[in-house]
Amino acid sequence: MPADPAESNVEPVETRPFPALSTPRLTLRAFTEADTPVFSELLAFYIVTRFSDWPDAPPPDRCAAAVKRMISSYPEGWGCAWAIEETTSATLIGAIRLNYIIKGPRVGGIGYELHPGFWGKGLATEALHAVVACAHGFFELNRLEAWTLPGNDASDRVLAKSGFAHEGTMRQKGYFKGAFHDFRWFGRVKDDPVARP
């Protein structure tokens, strides 16, 4: 994985303008350091971090480092991170990312968080549809993949509705929060439909 951006002297390798996206209800834009307090508040919700490798209520310095890393991901060419805004209110309600881009096989890894006050409205699926289209189009990626932890049925549904197929479970793939965790692995390729019923 790339080094912490605070310690990185990597020159930008992506010179195209940031791929801002819009949907009927959302604006997906680049992160700025001014977003750090709101992102920190988002991660303070236990139900947001429960099924992830984020620590519970990560401290402000870790959240600040994460935002800097998200900001650096696109210009450095190894990923891309979008702040999710509700368009009508311009309220930051989440984040969605290409956590990594592997350029040889053209593979990208998906991750996202959404404020629990906006759950159950189809907004995560709406954001993911836009990012999937951008990943296959703008970034020319062939395969997208994501993992969830057992029990995270809501995230499983978001992925399924965006054309990701459950490809199997990788036993004890991750270690965080003092325990090993199975990863439910999902993937889709460019020719798969973006939306599934």
Is-above-0.85 flag for pTM? yes
Query: Cα separation of 47 and 123, whole Å?
Result: 17
Query: Cα separation of 188 and 44, whole Å?
Result: 31
Q: How many CA atoms lie within 13 A of 177 on its CB side?
A: 15
Range 104-110 average pLDDT: 97
- Does 55 score more than 70 pLDDT? yes
Domain boundaries, the chain: 5-189
Parallel/antiparallel/unpaired status of strands 107-114 and 143-148: parallel
Residues 116-144 have pLDDT tens digits of 999 999 999 999 999 999 999 999 999 99
Q: Which residues contact 186 (CB under 8 A, 6 or more apart)?
A: 145, 146, 147, 148, 156, 159, 160, 164, 165, 166, 167
- Does 62 score more than 50 pLDDT? yes
- pLDDT > 70: percent of the chain: 93
Is 3.40.630.30 the CATH number for 5-189? yes
